[in-house]
């Protein structure tokens, strides 16, 4: 099959108009062919009827004189035939032909005419007509006949007069008219063609332009404009198109802006947002949600159960409400999930508020309060117990009372250090403790701490060595806090290392920092404790720590201070091989 040729509108209109014109012409010719011949026949018949009455009048005399002279009648018929151009036949009442105008026929050679249809009709009604093919002349003829009587209108019939005319005139007239009309039609057509071409062009051009414009608008190009200088309805259509395009552009721009805003809002949100359609399939996820649940683009279009594998969530979407949910993402996270139905039940929007950190903090706080209460209660109940014993009757003797009072003193000191440590931690945590960072040399800080703790070390016959390179750069630190770090680490080393042990404070510059190490050759710490050693109230051996006056907060304070300075803290240790506590601080 041939491919359909797409004709431009202009040509379609042009050919349409030409076809219309041609059809009109053909129709006119057919109309002429159909209506003209019957009309002409009718007209000829009318003429012949008039003629036959004239002939009736002309032959009344000759056919009523007695005796009738057929020769005279024949001459008259001949004569009248020549003058009028008609064929005239005069027939006796018995059908014998008396006179005949046609020079090809002799009356006495002609057959009896009584049975001719027009003759019969004339005898019965006074006037008869018939169309017949004349074999003699080889053409169609119309015959009209009437009777001649003596004493009109009912006297005896004296003769029948008949006139005839060949009908080939009709065909000739018809074809002449047809030819004339065709020629006129063709001439008119030829003159009309350029006009039709112009007309088709005049009206198809703007329509074609508008069609192209509409197509361009549909494909998103709003900068084309329909031709504006056209009058009439087409002009109005062009205006309307231009307006529509303008409004579309504005609406689309607004929509795009709204969408961009929405996308910006959604991607800027820390809460995860999920939109599911009425069929429960995911339509939209924001960046936060993708991260929270580690989802990719392939999740779009899936059901919530397929993508997130969470029945609880599926139920929440089915009956929108708010709920706290623990989800494996794959790490365990706690969310406050809010589901709300969209308007017209078009779907559901679900917002995930991650409260994992908050929950953790809350748990830590609870744990901390419990720990603090416990830590405070132990020394308090000891103090209370001893005071009660001291107050009992009979009073204990002086030596025992003194021993009791020493225990009370020791525990109240413990309470004091505990409260000091707690205050330190709370100050560090609430960031009230404003750090006043100054360039501090480690040598001076270490010397002050060693000085402070030398008595304790001497009491356990431990060697306290400071080993610092001469070129060690100064650090940027709050001098008091740095002192606290070193004291806590050295104090721990002295406390937990056996008598006669070795404790060393050393340091080295590393990139932009200075790395400090407090090491000992004490008992060391088992690997399982190392990850927790900097946690609050974490002790490897609770009883021993208490015995030594520890609060379980020393390392936690160290960690806080170092981190507040932008440094790191870590430990290397193994059972039986001593411990090395490291911290780093930025250079001054
Ligand atoms: P404490 O007040 O109990 O010393 P810390 O936070 O200072 O609390 O220390 C936590 C725990 O770490 C201690 O209870 C102890 O078990 C262990 N530890 C700290 N320093 C050392 C060290 N130098 N050698 C062995 N164990 C240590």
Q: What is the pLDDT of residue 515?
A: 97
Give the closest residue (by CA) to ligand 1 atom 18.
492
Q: How far apart are CA 32 and CA 34, in angstroms?
A: 5
Q: What is the pLDDT of residue 402?
A: 94
Segment among 166-170, 195-199, 269-273 with least mean pLDDT: 166-170
Q: What is the average per-residue pLDDT within 46-70?
A: 90
Q: What is the average per-residue pLDDT within 504-523?
A: 96
In this predicted structure, the answer to whether residue 551 has a pLDDT above a threshold of 80 is yes
φ/ψ region of 537 (left if φ > 0, alpha if ψ in -120 to 50, else beta) reads left
Q: What is the average per-residue pLDDT within 520-528?
A: 95
Ligand 1 binding pocket, CB closer than 6 Å: 492-493, 496, 520, 522-523, 525, 533, 538-541, 545, 550-556, 579
| Top mean-pLDDT range of 210-214, 229-233, 566-570 | 566-570
Q: What is the pLDDT of residue 78?
A: 93
Q: What is the pLDDT of residue 30?
A: 92
- Between 81 and 544, whose confidence is greater? 81
Q: What is the average per-residue pLDDT within 326-344?
A: 89
In this predicted structure, the answer to whether residue 138 has a pLDDT above a threshold of 60 is yes
The answer to whether the CB of 289 falls within 8 A of the CB of 267 is no
Q: How far is the CA of 539 from the centre of ligand 1 (A)?
A: 6
What is the chain's alpha carbon radius of gyration, rounded to the nearest angstrom?
Answer: 66
Residue 327: count other Cβ atoms within 10 Å of its Cβ.
21
Helices (H), 85-131: 117-125
| Top mean-pLDDT range of 200-204, 208-212, 381-385, 538-542 | 381-385
The answer to whether the CB of 485 falls within 8 A of the CB of 558 is yes
Q: What is the pLDDT of residue 208?
A: 81
> Among 371, 496, 537, which is best to mutate for testing ligand 1, by the most ligand atoms less than 8 A from CB?
496
Q: What is the average per-residue pLDDT within 240-265?
A: 90
The number of helices, as runs of H, and strands, as runs of E, in the chain is: 14, 17
Residue 134: pLDDT band (50, 70, 90) is confident
Q: What is the average per-residue pLDDT within 59-73?
A: 88
**Residue 588, both tokens:** 């001054």
Q: What is the pLDDT of residue 152?
A: 67
Q: Mean pLDDT of all residues in the chain? A: 90
Instruction: For residue range 98-119, list pLDDT tens digits in order.
Output: 999 988 888 888 889 999 999 9
Q: What is the pLDDT of residue 391?
A: 92
The answer to whether the CB of 501 falls within 8 A of the CB of 520 is yes
374-379 contacts, C-beta under 8 A, 24 or more apart: 375/418, 375/537, 375/551, 375/552, 376/415, 376/418, 378/546, 379/411, 379/412, 379/414, 379/415, 379/418
> Among 523, 554, 557, 562, which is best to mutate for testing ligand 1, by the most ligand atoms less than 8 A from CB?
554
Q: How far is the CA of 298 from the centre of ligand 1 (A)?
A: 51
Residue 583: CB partners within 8 Å, gap ≥ 6? 485, 489, 515, 516, 558, 562, 567, 568, 569, 570
> Among 492, 494, 582, which is best to mutate for testing ligand 1, by the most ligand atoms less than 8 A from CB?
492
Q: How far is the CA of 540 from the centre of ligand 1 (A)?
A: 7
In this predicted structure, the answer to whether residue 129 has a pLDDT above a threshold of 80 is yes
Q: What is the pLDDT of residue 153?
A: 74
Q: What is the pLDDT of residue 105?
A: 81
**Residue 291, both tokens:** 């991260």
Q: How far apart are CA 119 and CA 134, in angstroms?
A: 16
Give the closest residue (by CA) to ligand 1 atom 19.
492
Q: What is the average per-residue pLDDT within 355-363?
A: 92
Q: What is the average per-residue pLDDT within 527-534?
A: 95
Residue 542: count other Cβ atoms within 10 Å of its Cβ.
12
Give the closest residue (by CA) to ligand 1 atom 8.
552
pLDDT > 90: percent of the chain: 57
Q: How far apart are CA 375 and CA 12, in angstroms?
A: 101
- Locate tokens 């609770």: which residue? 542
Residue 200: pLDDT band (50, 70, 90) is confident
This prediction has a pTM of 0.51
The answer to whether the CB of 145 falls within 8 A of the CB of 118 is yes
- Between 234 and 350, whose confidence is greater? 350
Q: What is the pLDDT of residue 543?
A: 83
Instruction: For residue range 388-416, list pLDDT tens digits in order.
Output: 999 988 888 999 999 999 999 999 999 99
Q: What is the pLDDT of residue 461?
A: 96
In this predicted structure, the answer to whether residue 2 has a pLDDT above a threshold of 70 is no
Give the closest residue (by CA) to ligand 1 atom 10.
539
The answer to whether the CB of 185 falls within 8 A of the CB of 31 is no
Assign 201 to helix, strand or coil. Answer: helix
Q: How far is the CA of 519 from the centre of ligand 1 (A)?
A: 13
Residue 542: pLDDT band (50, 70, 90) is confident
Q: What is the average per-residue pLDDT within 213-231?
A: 77
Residue 18: CB partners within 8 Å, gap ≥ 6? 189, 193, 196
Q: What is the pLDDT of residue 276?
A: 94
Residue 245: pLDDT band (50, 70, 90) is confident
Helices 168-218 and 232-268 cross at an angle (nearest 10°) of 30
Q: What is the pLDDT of residue 234?
A: 78
Cβ burial of 257 (10 Å; 0-12, 13-18, 19+) is exposed
- Locate tokens 């969530």: which residue? 313
Q: What share of the chain is helix, strand, coil (3-state, %, to 5)?
A: 55, 20, 25
Q: How far is the CA of 204 from the centre of ligand 1 (A)?
A: 96
CA-wise closest residue to 119 among 92, 100, 140, 151: 92
Q: What is the pLDDT of residue 389?
A: 92
| E runs forming strands in 172-225 | none
In this predicted structure, the answer to whether residue 204 has a pLDDT above a threshold of 80 is yes
């Amino acid at each position: 099959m041939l491919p359909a040729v797409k004709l431009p509108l202009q040509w379609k209109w042009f050919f349409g108009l030409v076809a219309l014109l041609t059809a009109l012409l053909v129709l006119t010719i057919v109309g002429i062919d159909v209506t003209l011949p019957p009309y002409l026949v009718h007209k000829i018949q009318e003429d012949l009827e008039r003629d036959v009455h004239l002939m009736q009048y002309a032959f009344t005399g000759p056919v009523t004189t007695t005796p009738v002279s057929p020769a005279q009648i024949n001459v008259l018929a001949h004569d009248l035939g020549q003058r009028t151009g008609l064929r005239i036949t005069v027939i006796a009442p018995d059908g014998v032909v008396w006179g005949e105008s046609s020079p090809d026929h002799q009356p006495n050679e002609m057959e009896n005419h009584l049975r001719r249809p027009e003759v019969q009709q004339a005898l019965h009604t006074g006037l008869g007509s018939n169309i017949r093919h004349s074999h003699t002349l080889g053409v169609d003829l119309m015959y009209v006949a009437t009777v001649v009587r003596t004493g009109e209108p009912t006297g005896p019939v004296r003769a029948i007069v008949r006139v005839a005319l060949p009908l080939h005139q009709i065909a000739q007239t018809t074809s002449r008219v047809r030819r004339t009309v065709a020629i006129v039609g063709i001439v008119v057509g030829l003159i009309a063609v350029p006009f039709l071409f112009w007309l088709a062009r005049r009206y198809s051009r703007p329509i074609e332009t508008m069609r192209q414009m509409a197509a361009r608008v549909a494909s998103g190009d709003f900068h084309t404009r329909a031709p504006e200088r056209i009058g009439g309805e087409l002009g109005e259509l062009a205006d309307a198109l231009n307006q529509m395009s303008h409004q579309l552009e504005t609406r689309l721009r607004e929509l795009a802006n709204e969408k961009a805003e929405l996308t910006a809002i959604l991607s800027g949100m820390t809460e995860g947002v999920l939109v599911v359609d009425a069929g429960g399939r995911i339509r939209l996820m924001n960046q936060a949600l993708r991260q929270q649940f580690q989802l990719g683009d392939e999740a779009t279009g899936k059901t919530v159960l397929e993508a997130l594998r969470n029945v609880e969530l599926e139920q929440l979407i089915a009956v929108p409400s708010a709920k706290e949910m623990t989800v494996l993402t794959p790490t365990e996270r706690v969310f406050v999930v809010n589901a709300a139905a969209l308007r017209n039940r078009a779907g559901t929007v679900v917002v995930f508020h991650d409260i994992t950190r908050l929950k953790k903090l809350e748990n830590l706080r609870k744990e901390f309060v419990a720990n603090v209460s416990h830590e405070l209660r132990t020394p308090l109940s000891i103090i209370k117990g001893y005071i009660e014993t001291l107050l009992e009757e009979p009073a204990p003797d002086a030596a025992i009372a003194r021993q009791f009072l020493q225990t009370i003193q020791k525990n109240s000191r413990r309470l004091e250090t505990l409260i000091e440590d707690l205050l330190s931690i709370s100050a560090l945590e609430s960031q009230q403790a404003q750090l006043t960072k100054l360039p501090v040399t480690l040598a001076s800080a270490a010397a002050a701490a060693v000085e402070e703790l030398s008595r304790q070390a001497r009491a356990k016959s431990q060697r306290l060595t400071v080993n610092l390179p001469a070129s060690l750069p100064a650090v940027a630190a709050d001098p008091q806090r740095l002192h606290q770090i070193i004291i806590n680490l050295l104090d721990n080393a002295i406390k937990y290392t056996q008598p006669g042990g070795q404790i060393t404070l050393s340091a080295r510059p590393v990139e932009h920092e200075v790395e400090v190490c407090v090491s000992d050759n004490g008992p060391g710490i088992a690997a399982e404790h190392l990850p927790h050693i900097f946690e609050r109230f974490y002790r490897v051996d609770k009883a021993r720590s208490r015995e030594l006056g520890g609060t379980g907060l020393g390392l936690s304070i160290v960690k806080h201070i170092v981190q507040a300075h932008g440094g790191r803290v870590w430990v290397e240790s193994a059972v039986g091989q001593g411990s090395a506590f490291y911290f780093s601080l930025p250079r001054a």
